[in-house]
Amino acid sequence: MTPFVAVIVVLLALFGAALAAVGSYGLLRLRSFYERAHPATLAATLGATSILLAAILFYSVSAGRFLPKALLLIVFIPLVNPVTTMLLARAALSRDRARRRPTAVVEGSAEAEWLREADELVRAQAEAARQQAIVDDETAPAVATDRSEGEA
């Protein structure tokens, strides 16, 4: 391996390792889930891609031919990591919104009216689901009986 290629491999590997270290430090120092999601995603995406490029270059030069095994990882890591982080952030946001309820709502305010309507909607949906379950339970044997009579 020529010294020029060795220097490039070392620089790519060190760059990837430095990004992973910065991402790990960000995970330790940042407080909320939303803040911690960014360094982890950037470290995994850019750091892993850089290390994989170093590996492709090293093993291709060592073997004397191009070895594209790590190319799939280089393609899929930048596609999967941001999407996964976005889905995790949406799930956390949904969880946080469900937990947050106003503690002091002034009676007669627009917020109190909205909360009352939201509670009524939740109750109505639960009642409709209960009624549908009752209807399904009552019609299930009749449907099975009708099918068995038609087949006989």
pLDDT, residue 82, reads 85
pLDDT in tens, 8-60: 999 999 999 999 898 888 888 888 888 888 888 888 888 888 999 999 999 88
Whether the Cβ atoms of residue 73 and residue 52 lie closer than 8 Å to each other: yes
pLDDT, residue 140, reads 66
pLDDT in tens, 56-89: 999 889 888 888 877 888 888 888 888 888 898 8
Residues 6+ apart with CB under 8 A from 101: 115
pLDDT in tens, 85-142: 889 888 888 887 777 765 555 676 767 777 778 888 888 888 998 988 888 777 766 5
What's the pTM?
0.57
pLDDT, residue 104, reads 59
pLDDT, residue 8, reads 94
Instruction: List C-alpha distances in Å: 3 to 14, 62, 63.
Output: 16, 13, 16
Question: At residue 130, what are phi and psi to the nearest 5 degrees?
Answer: -65, -45
